Amino acid sequence: HRRIVLASRPQGAPVETNFRLEVQHPPQPAEGEILLRTVWLSLDPYMRGRMSDAPSYVPPIAIDAVMGASTIARVEKSRHAGFKEGEWVVSQNGWQDFALSDGRSLQRLPDAACKHPSWALSLLGMTGFTAYMGLLDIGQPQAGETVVVAAATGAVGSVVGQIARLKGCHVIGIAGGAEKCHFAEQTLGFDRCLDHRDPALAEQLRRYCPDGIDVYFENVGGKVFDAVLPLMNPRGRIPLCGLIADYNAITPSTLPDRLPSLQGALLRKRLRVQGFIINQDYPHRFDEFIHQMAQWVTEKRIIMREDIYDGLDNAPKIFIDMLEGRNFGKVVVRVAPD
Ligand code: NDP
């Protein structure tokens, strides 16, 4: 039974010594409990916030505690009437081989994920749900409008753009590098994808958004937001989902303080910027989401690129790389054969 714990809090970008691998005997379930074996581990940017004790929308992980994470697991042993050995569940095992549960926080694998269990961590799980609610409930895209999405080939962004296409929008992605941009255009069907490393990003955006931007799905912040803001149309909407460009910052941003001009733009253009935290704001709409997304997946109208890695021991490095943009799609780790 391997487990990866938080050894120390990162200063800036996490490094491998912030994590520690421990090996122990697997825990044994008491009456009413289940022993779960992790098969798929989800690695997500929000975990960077949990490694820190700065104020965040997620509580910090204690030093020496197991890194938290959503997982797809199999019931290894059951002393609980509601669960049978071998069953699949969506659980919160964290970065470890085994975990105990009393069953209360477990969800059944959605039917649509039975052939592809790891999709319950992405397209048919948290990141797909985030894309769906953020875009449709907050972004309110209308056919013919221009939607721009950052981190466009990532777990959330790739789904945002595909849903926006289904709604008849003109979709511009922003991603890191030519290969990701090519994928967004050729495989995900975006109208265009621009490289945020290109010094001419603002100019390129202006060129490919000739009618301005109606919805900007914010995953990134920083320079990308700076390029987008001047192009926002009056009554534009900005679902504020994440600000990954700043997650590793030690000191507050070194960008000049342009709060007055930002507020001026929000006022003049009557923009609606709304932050949201999927697990807190939308649990009551998960059934609606899963029903619709399962249909789109069955009809092959939305696809998912997963970035699959093997081995729990590699999780720290894979996570560090993801924060640097070295992932290409939803990052999942195969902890045990499925
Ligand atoms: P991704 O799969 O998109 O992976 C992260 C990506 O962020 C990287 O691949 C990289 O893509 C991009 N990135 C990293 N650093 C920078 C930077 N400095 N500038 C521009 N892009 C950068 O992750 P997710 O889809 O899981 O998450 C996307 C965002 O959504 C995150 O901000 C996350 O915190 C947020 N989120 C929020 C939720 C909520 O409830 N509010 C729920 C889930 C996610 P590239 O190479 O293209 O730059």
The CATH number assigned to the domain holding 168 equals 3.40.50.720
Check residue 173 and give its pLDDT: 98
Sequence letter at residue 102 = D
> Does a structural domain hold residue 286?
no
Q: Does the pLDDT value for residue 248 go beyond 90? A: no
* d(C-alpha 219, C-alpha 242), whole Å: 4
Same domain membership, residue 271 and residue 147: yes
DSSP structure string for 179-195: HHHHHHHHTS--SEEEE
Q: Please report, rounded to a whole number, the percentage of residues in the chain having pLDDT higher than 70.
A: 98
**Which domain covers residue 201, as residue numbers?**
126-279
Q: Is the CB of 130 under 6 A from ligand 1?
A: yes
In this structure, the residue with its CA closest to atom 4 of ligand 1 is 154
Last residue of a domain, one of 238, 264, 279: 279
Check residue 260 and give its pLDDT: 86
Same domain membership, residue 106 and residue 41: yes
Residue with tokens 């507050």: 252
Same domain membership, residue 143 and residue 253: yes
In this structure, the residue with its CA closest to atom 10 of ligand 1 is 325
> Does a structural domain hold residue 285?
no
**Ligand 1 center–CA 220 separation, angstroms:** 6
Check residue 254 and give its pLDDT: 65
Same domain membership, residue 42 and residue 24: yes
> Does a structural domain hold residue 297?
no
Check residue 57 and give its pLDDT: 74
Same domain membership, residue 162 and residue 186: yes
Check residue 255 and give its pLDDT: 64
Query: What is residue 52's DSSP assignment?
Result: S
Q: Which pLDDT band, with edges at 50, 70 and 90, does 58 fall under?
A: confident
In this structure, the residue with its CA closest to atom 47 of ligand 1 is 175
Q: Does the pLDDT value for residue 253 go beyond 70? A: no
Kindly report, residue by residue over 269-312, the tens digit of the pLDDT: 999 999 999 999 999 999 999 999 999 999 999 999 999 999 99
Residue whose CB lies within 8 A of the most ligand 1 atoms, among 156, 281, 282, for a mutation test: 156
Same domain membership, residue 220 and residue 88: no
* ipTM of this complex: 0.98
Q: Is the CB of 208 under 6 A from ligand 1?
A: no
> Does a structural domain hold residue 258?
yes
**Stretch 163-189: mean pLDDT:** 98
**Stretch 31-55: mean pLDDT:** 95
Last residue of a domain, one of 264, 279, 294: 279
Same domain membership, residue 274 and residue 206: yes
> Does a structural domain hold residue 290?
no
Number of H helices and number of E strands within the chain?
10, 15
Same domain membership, residue 132 and residue 118: no
Same domain membership, residue 138 and residue 53: no
- Mean pLDDT, all residues of the chain: 95
Which tokens in the block code for residue 134?
A: 């953020």
Q: Is the CB of 122 under 6 A from ligand 1?
A: no
Q: Please report, rounded to a whole number, the percentage of residues in the chain having pLDDT higher than 90.
A: 91
Q: Does the pLDDT value for residue 135 go beyond 90? A: yes
CATH of the domain at 59: 3.90.180.10
**Ligand 1 center–CA 3 separation, angstroms:** 25
> Does a structural domain hold residue 295?
no
> Does a structural domain hold residue 158?
yes
Same domain membership, residue 261 and residue 137: yes
> Does a structural domain hold residue 262?
yes
Query: Which atom of ligand 1 lies closest to the CA of 279?
Result: 40
Query: Do residues 187 and 158 lie in contact, with contact meaning Cβ atoms separated by under 8 Å?
Result: no
Same domain membership, residue 200 and residue 85: no
Count the domains in the chain: 2
Q: Which helix H or strand E contains 163, and what residues bound it?
A: helix 157-166
Same domain membership, residue 23 and residue 135: no
Check residue 261 and give its pLDDT: 87
Last residue of a domain, one of 263, 279, 295: 279
Q: Which pLDDT band, with edges at 50, 70 and 90, does 209 fall under?
A: very high
pTM of the entire predicted model? 0.95
**Stretch 4-29: mean pLDDT:** 96
**Ligand 1 center–CA 242 separation, angstroms:** 7
Which tokens in the block code for residue 145?
A: 């409008």
Q: Does the pLDDT value for residue 56 go beyond 80? A: no
Q: Is the CB of 180 under 6 A from ligand 1?
A: yes
Q: Does the pLDDT value for residue 54 go beyond 90? A: no
